[in-house]
Amino acid sequence: MSQTHVVPTRVYYTIFAILMFCTYLTVQVAFLDLGALNTVAALAIAVFKAVLVVLFFMHVKYSTRLTWVVVIGGAFWLGILLALTMTDYLSRAWGTFG
Amino acid sequence: MLPDAVEHHHPALAHQFDSLAQQREAAALGMWVFLVTEVLFFGGLFATYAVYRWWYPDAFAAASHELDILLGGTNTAVLITSSLTMALAVHSAQLGRRRLLLLFLIATMALGCVFLGIKGVEYYHKFVEHHVPGPGFEFEAAYARQAQIFFSLYFIMTGLHAVHMIIGIGIMLAMFWMSWRGRITADYYNPIEVSGLYWHFVDIVWIFLFPLLYLIGRHA
> Hey, are the CB atoms on B25 and A64 less than 8 Å from each other?
yes
Q: How confident is the model at residue A90 (pLDDT cuts 50, 70, 90)?
A: confident
Digit-coded pLDDT (tens) for B2-14: 555 555 678 889 9
Whether pLDDT at B68 is above 70: yes
Contact residues, chain B, for A63 at CB < 8 Å:
25, 28
SS3 sequence of A6-60 = CCCHHHHHHHHHHHHHHHHHHHHHHCCCCCCHHHHHHHHHHHHHHHHHHHHHCCH
How large is the ipTM?
Answer: 0.92
- Where in chain B are the domains? 18-214
- With a CB-CB cutoff of 8 Å, which residues 8-37 of chain A face chain B? 9, 12-13, 16, 19-20, 23, 26-27, 30-34
Range B124-147 average pLDDT: 94
Contacts with B92 (C-beta within 8 Å, 6 or more apart), sequence order: B98, B100, B101, B104
Digit-coded pLDDT (tens) for A36-87: 899 999 999 999 999 999 999 999 999 999 999 999 999 999 999 999 999 9
Report the CATH fold assignment for B18-214.
Four Helix Bundle (Hemerythrin (Met), subunit A) (1.20.120)
The answer to whether residue A51 neighbours chain B at the CB level (below 8 Å) is: no
Interface test with B, best of A57, A71, A76 (most B CBs within 10 A): A57
